[in-house]
Amino acid sequence: MTGLKWSRRTTRKIAAELATLNIQVSHATVGKLLRGMGFSLRSNQKQLACGSAAPPSKEARNQQFEYISLLRETYAAMGNPVISVDTKKKEMIGNFKNPGQSWNAEPIQVYDHDFRSDAVGMAVPYGIYDTQSNQGKIILGTSYDTPAFAVGAISTWWKTEGCKRYANARELLILADSGGSNGVRPLAWRYHLQNKLCDPHTLRVTVCHYPTGASKWNPIEHRLFSEISKNWAAKPLDSYETALKCIRKTTTETGLKVTAQLDPKTYVKGETYSKEEMEQLSLVRHETLPKWNYSLFPRGEFLE
């Protein structure tokens, strides 16, 4: 009794095992018999939710998508900006292989192993995509992907582009995933939104989070990040300047324009804030799915 309840068998191995029992069949016949019994080659499916939080119901997910759509239309009609934000996959800077193919007379020679010790550094691309103007901005961090870094990137976008593009706007809608540095859990995300964005720029900020597991519907994923990946495919990101140039040259037939800049600051992970500090935030949760939807107001502003 070894405790082994099953083992992985190919059709050829099953046919060989049957031959030891004087049952002569080919591996093709074994495959036909398995398919007739309802078996087929299958891969794993990521369907089971893990963690302490219960997965959102289908009704809640649908309600959140409808609510986001309503707010996007409302903000656009009022001339207020709507941005989609997220962190793109981190990249090692150095002469490493970059997935994809490109037209070249000769293949580009890169390191045979992707050792972190051979890298110049890490690139943390935080993106801000303006859904109305079809323009994106990437802040390329060199430290950690923290809430302070995320909010700092959004604040930089507002100071350099947003306030000029929407000169009369006093409200901003942010669409974000439910996890990561701009997720629903990090207290530092809301703390920095208040202190780095709302108060300094007297800006009312509303945040809507996409439900867990629904990040692929976040506009930035298929409108900006995918285009950047296609543009630098097979191009080794041997320096931060190379990465920035590849990002800036990303365009589409629909008129996408992208700007990029480096953020060399060092950000500290694991920021903590007291209950008293969080209670001082001028934050109001919406009646509709308050966990995912909330607004922050400049402190001192009258809340109706």
Domain boundaries, the chain: 58-90+127-231+255-296
User: Which pLDDT score is estimated for 229?
Assistant: 96
| pLDDT tens, the chain, 304 aa long | 556 555 567 888 888 888 998 999 999 998 899 899 988 888 777 666 555 455 678 899 999 999 999 999 999 999 999 999 999 999 999 999 999 888 888 889 999 999 999 999 999 999 999 999 999 999 999 999 999 999 999 999 999 999 999 999 999 999 999 999 999 999 999 999 999 999 999 999 999 999 998 989 999 999 999 999 999 999 999 999 999 999 999 999 999 999 999 999 999 999 999 999 999 999 999 999 999 999 999 997 754 4
Query: Where are the extended beta strands (E) located within 142-195?
Result: 171-176
Question: For residue 204, which of 294, 297, 293, 302 has the smallest C-alpha distance?
Answer: 297
Q: Alpha carbon 52 to chain centroid distance? A: 22
Number of Cβ within 10 Å of residue 277's Cβ equals 13
Tokens of 161: 């582009």
User: Which pLDDT score is estimated for 52?
Assistant: 46
Collapsing DSSP to helix, strand or coil, 301 comes out as coil
Q: Round to whole Å and give the CA distance between 141 and 126.
A: 7
User: Which pLDDT score is estimated for 2?
Assistant: 59
Tokens of 111: 């390191």
User: Which pLDDT score is estimated for 189?
Assistant: 98
User: Which pLDDT score is estimated for 47?
Assistant: 65
217: region left, alpha or beta (phi > 0 left; psi from -120 to 50 alpha): alpha
Residue identified by tokens 């439900």 is 211
Residues 6+ apart with CB under 8 A from 36: none
**What is the distance in angstroms between the CA of the first residue and the CA of the last residue of the chain?**
71
